[in-house]
Amino acid sequence: MTRSKRMQPVLRIAEMREQTAVKELGNAQRFLKEQEERLSELQDYQAEYARNCHAQGSSGISAARFQELQRFMASLNQAIEQQQQMVQNAARICVQKKQLWQQAYGKSKSLDKVVERYSEQELYEQGQREQKEADEMAQHSGRTTLGKDEG
């Protein structure tokens, strides 16, 4: 079995790992985008709620209502902080998945080049053997022709 054929299973495994890594990267990027969208929605809601509170406050509200609004804003701020952590974690995972994909891609491409070089070398060697055989056949047929002419 040729070297290039022996390397095919190794190359297939490397390509499968690369495909798995690219899928994981895609999933991580989608998750990051979802988390960023949730954060944006929370921030938009917070801004809208603050505008509404300001509008209510200018017309006068009770102390109990004011405290209730403050508690809700505090819990909303906490939710935003938690979501910011989720975004940061998702971004960190994305970076890790990208690095893993880049490594898998690099291995796959270098193995592909190795197999290609092996194939080229094998083709070259096969051409050399065929040329040698053709030369030997030409020499042999030339000797046979000379032997018949002399007899």
User: Which one, of 71, 73, 66, lies nearest residue 49 by Cα?
Assistant: 73
Give this prediction's pTM: 0.73
Let me know if 18 is exposed, middle or buried by CB neighbors in 10 A (0-12, 13-18, 19+): buried
Give pLDDT tens digits for 93-117.
Answer: 999 999 999 999 999 999 999 999 9
- Report helix, strand or coil for 137: helix
Per-domain residue ranges of the chain: 7-150
pLDDT of 8 above 80: yes
Task: Look at domain 7-150 and name its CATH class.
Answer: mainly alpha
